[in-house]
Each structure stands twice: as structure tokens, then as C-alpha cells.
Amino acid sequence: MPELPEVETVRRGLEPAMQDQLIIKVDVNRPDLRWPFPPNMGGRLTGARVLGLRRRSKYILVDLDSDETLIIHLGMSGRMLVSGFQLGQFHQEHPAPEKHDHVVLHMENDARVTFNDARRFGAMDLAPTTQVEVHRLLVGLGPEPLGNSFDETSLTAALSGKNSPIKSVLLDQRIIAGLGNIYVCEVLFRAKISPMRKAGDLSKARVGKIVPIIREVLEEAIMAGGSSLKDYRQTGGELGYFQHKFQVYGQEGQPCCSTSCKGVIARVTQAGRSSFYCPTCQR
């Protein structure tokens, strides 16, 4: 599933084609994805102008002048593809329609924004802009890891008394919004913390070390266009390339890349997910 860097990369790719543009036509080619689309979604989007695009956790929020916000979640295999739009020296021609092009937004600048989702775990919904933060999909989310409300003090308080492994706690969207399995593995490796370590046992100093590393990993991944392992693509169809910088994720059996460490990357299963780590230097 795309994590924060992939979703932020998609948001940035959509912005030049959609910002301040009118949606002149909407093709809704099926009634639902993971859940049914909101009533008359195509009609409610048609004629609306895009005021801005935001991201909350793993959701893209498209604010409209109709006082509604379009909420987009990419699910497991969802892609937002832009065509027919001149970006610098590059122009993406409109491709032939594909089987899984479920929603297509036609913009007044001739851009076409297509939501393609082969596995149909993605979602779209509409909510009043003034109430979008209390939408059922967003209301319980924790602070944004790149935002000002996320710091050493807030994370220390959130981890206090937690008997669950630090890996599981950092994946909890109520604790931090947007982190997923890939980036938590990479963060814990850089912080030299075992994914099995109980969250509440970490010292304040070690918790404080996690905060800047989370930001560092996420910012590096965004600059690299995210990570493409299976379905993820950027809005122009390009792959992300942060997967080429993975230090532990997917590296089971490989030598640890830390200087002077003689360990080998191992994999364990935690809550049904694979955790990759170095048993020698992560404690």
C-alpha cells in the first residue's frame, strides 16, 4: 500500500494539472471501489473549480469551490495518472482507456486525471470542506510526522506505558499518521532500535532520536518519488526509486550496511507483517 511519501509525490504531481482548474466532465465507470461512491459524485464534481490539494496521512484532499472536498485513497494498487498536460518541456498524450480506469476527471486545461485501480481497494468520497477533518476516515488520525505538532515531547507521551513493540506502535495511525511498514523498518534501522523493543521501555533520549530520523527518511523518499515495489507509479507513470536506497527492507540475508557491523539482515513477522532488521546493531 502506498505510504506517506508515495501519496505526497502523487499530490505534488496532480497539483500543476488541477490547481485553480475547472472540472468540466467526470466519467464514473462503476458505482464503487472499496466502498460505494457518494451519491451523484460525477454531478457534484462537474463544474467545480479546484482551490487546492492537500494531504492528510495517506489521503489526498482536493478542496473545491463548491465547499466540498474530494477525499482520495489509493488503496493497494490505485494510481492517479495525468495526461494531456504540458509540464515544462514534456507533454503526456492521452492514452487509450484501460479496463481499470474507474474515474476520469477532465480539466479545463485539457488535462485528464485518471484513477486506475486494478484491485479496487481504493476509495473516493466527498465531504463538506469545513467538516472534512471529522470525516470517518480522518477523524482518528494522529499528527503528521512532517508537521509542527509532531516532536519529541508528543512522541514520548504517546509511547509512555506502551507494552507493544515499537514497530507496531509506529505503524498505529492514531500515534503517527502516514507511516507504513517500509519506512518504519528503515527508521528503526537508522535509529539502531530493534523492532521488537517494547515502546514504553525506550528512554527519552532514544525516542528523541526517532523524531528527526522519521523526518529524514520521509523527506528522502519524497525527493526520490517514493518507492515502487509492485503497483505504485507517479502521476506521469514513472517509477519511484527510493527502493534502491533501502538499507534493511527486503534485504533479508544481506550483510548489514553499517560501518564495522558484521551482522546479517533478518526478517521476523510481527502482527502479520514482515519486519527487516539487523539483530547485531539494532537493540
Q: What is the CA radius of gyration of the chain?
A: 20
Residues 6+ apart with CB under 8 A from 168: 199, 270, 271
> Does the active-site annotation cover 230?
no
State the Cα–Cα distance between residues 73 and 90, nearest whole angstrom. 27
| pLDDT score recorded for residue 237 | 74
**Is the pLDDT reported for residue 231 higher than 70?**
no
**Of 18-22, 65-69, 225-229, 245-249, which range is least confident?**
225-229
Of the listed 55, 56, 58, 167, which one is catalytic?
58
- Catalytic residue status for 58: yes
Catalytic residue among 3, 6, 8, 68: 3
**Mean pLDDT calculated for residue range 131-136:** 97
Active site residue 98: no
Which residue do the cell numbers 469551490 mark? Answer: 65
**From edge to edge, which strands make up the β-sheet containing 123-128?**
50-56, 59-64, 68-73, 123-128
**Which pLDDT score, from 0 to 100, does residue 96 have?**
81
Q: Quick one: pLDDT band at residue 157, thresholds 50, 70, 90? A: very high
| Amino acid 92: pLDDT | 67
pLDDT digits (tens, 9 = 90+) for 171-198: 999 999 999 999 999 999 999 999 999 9
- CA distance linking residue 187 with residue 151, whole number of Å: 15
Instruction: Tell me the per-residue pLDDT of 43-83, one tens digit each, with 9 for 90 and over.
Output: 999 999 999 999 999 999 999 999 999 999 999 889 999 99
In this structure, what C-alpha cell is assigned to residue 74?
489509493
pTM beyond 0.85, yes or no: yes
pLDDT computed for residue 181 by the predictor: 94
Model confidence at 233: pLDDT above 80: no
Asked if residue 132 lies in contact with residue 44, where contact means CB atoms within 8 angstroms, the answer is no
Domains annotated for the chain, with CATH where assigned, are 4-134 (3.20.190.10), 152-246 (1.10.8.50)
Q: 23-27, 74-78, 151-155 — which is least confidently predicted?
A: 74-78
Higher pLDDT, 90 or 101: 101
